[in-house]
Structure 1
Amino acid sequence: MEDGAFLSGQMLIAMPGIGDPRFERALVLICAHDENHAMGIAVNRPVEGLTVPDLLGRLDVQGPIEIPPDLVLMGGPVERERGFVVHTDDYAAGDRSLAIGEGVALTATREVLEAMANRAGPPRKAVLALGYAGWGPGQLEQEIRDNVWLTCPPDETLIFGGDHERKWAKALAKLGVDASLLTSAAGRA
């Protein structure tokens, strides 16, 4: 990475052998990145058996919940009890929404949950995640230098698609990499 180049709005693709089972085959959307920290949401780690309508009901979100039973995602190991919504930028909660990249934002307020509950309004697409992935100063940059992560540009299918099992391989394919040919073994020339 060049000095001063930050990855907000990009996807991180975990390499085989990452050494942390919480990120094995993870696909992480970087929501914020600067010289002091990085923060991202894993978009391919569903919480089995917990749907968005179920969670919205448990949180007593007002009004009818008229959305499909998409699974809630495990966004990362930090603050796993806190919810984050990655959504299309047709919805914004003023300065409480963070623009991530072209057409995508992040909001962590109750208002976005209420907006999600009714399909008639914005956001057009959204995923709800519990927790996030975080890095301290220089940590993510070092992990990229150590070949722990590859990066690729996002698209709506990678962020919002429901085929969580195949997202990792699809992200690699965007880079021309066949996931079946990757190994966790390392070598030296």
Structure 2
Amino acid sequence: MNSKPITTDINELTPGSLRDHFLIAMPGLNDSSFAHTVTYVCEHSDKGAMGVVINAATPMLLKEIFLQMDLDDLSDQGDQIVMSGGPVQPERGFVLHTSDVKWQSTLEVSPDISLTASRDIIVALAEGRGPKQCLIALGYAGWGEGQLEAEIAANSWLTVPANKDIIFNTPLEQRWASAAQVLGIDVNLIASTPGHA
């Protein structure tokens, strides 16, 4: 069997890939990093997965990042809350944004949503010439080979195709329930220890 090389081309997704999907933490997932979270999956292949948590706030605002980078805040986005994107590299910034503009290290996850981790997008945001919509996060969530699949099989996560409206327009505290509602599920009614048929 020939294995295809890993690609970041959105037109050549790995079969079974959860790229551009939400991982919705099941109520029984008590890991403090992921309890009641929604993670947007940016990469997923047989080598592992990477995503950004979209509903775990830090106490930091975007204008504080501008200040740390010696950038004047000429934007109207300085009061945007910075998310805790996950436990891996929490000192590193990631920007999920609409795909209207690209920067140095932009990964186009879907036709609508991109991920950029380079300084130039933060500079653009400070100068008021950033993407139309964005979510700024510190850190990311990562899974090794087979790890995410095992967690899904153990009922830790619900998966659903991503919805950019939930990422960019839904109030933070409603994102977990709203993402599950796409499946017609009220996550608050799911038992925390699901049985197996």
**Structure 1 and Structure 2 fold alike (TM over 0.5):** yes
User: What is residue 168 of structure 1 aligned with on the other side?
Assistant: 176
How many residues are paired up?
184
The one-character-per-residue Cα deviations of 1:41-64 (angstroms, maximum 9, x if unpaired) are: 00000102x111122122212562
Partner AA of 1:118 in structure 2? E
- Could you list the runs of 5+ residues in structure 2 that have no partner in the other structure? 1-13
1:4 corresponds to 2:12: no
Where do residues 25-174 of structure 1 align in structure 2 (5 Å cutoff)? 25-48=36-59, 50-61=60-71, 64-94=74-104, 96-119=105-128, 121-161=129-169, 163-174=171-182
Q: Which has more helix, going by share of residues?
A: 1
Does 2:197 correspond to 1:186? no
Identity fraction in percent: 38
2:94–2:116 Cα contact (<8 Å) kept: yes
Whether the aligned pair in 2 keeps the contact of 1:12 and 1:30 (CA below 8 Å) is yes
Q: Is the 8 A contact 1:84 1:131 kept in 2?
A: yes
Q: CA deviation at 1:180?
A: 2.6
Is the alpha carbon distance of 1:57 and 1:8 closer, same or farther for their aligned partners in structure 2, counting shifts above 3 Å? same
What is the CA–CA distance in structure 1 between the aligned matches of 2:121 and 2:164, rounded to whole Å? 19
Contact persistence 2:112–2:164 (CA under 8 A)? no
For residues 12-44 of structure 1, the C-alpha deviation after alignment (integer angstroms, 9 at most, x for no partner) is 100011131110011000011111110000000
Please state how far the C-alpha of 1:114 moved relative to its aligned partner.
Answer: 1.2
The one-letter code of the counterpart of 1:18 is L
TM-score (norm 2): 0.87
TM-score by length of 1: 0.90
SS in 2 for 1:22: coil
Q: Which runs of 5+ in 1 are unaligned?
A: none
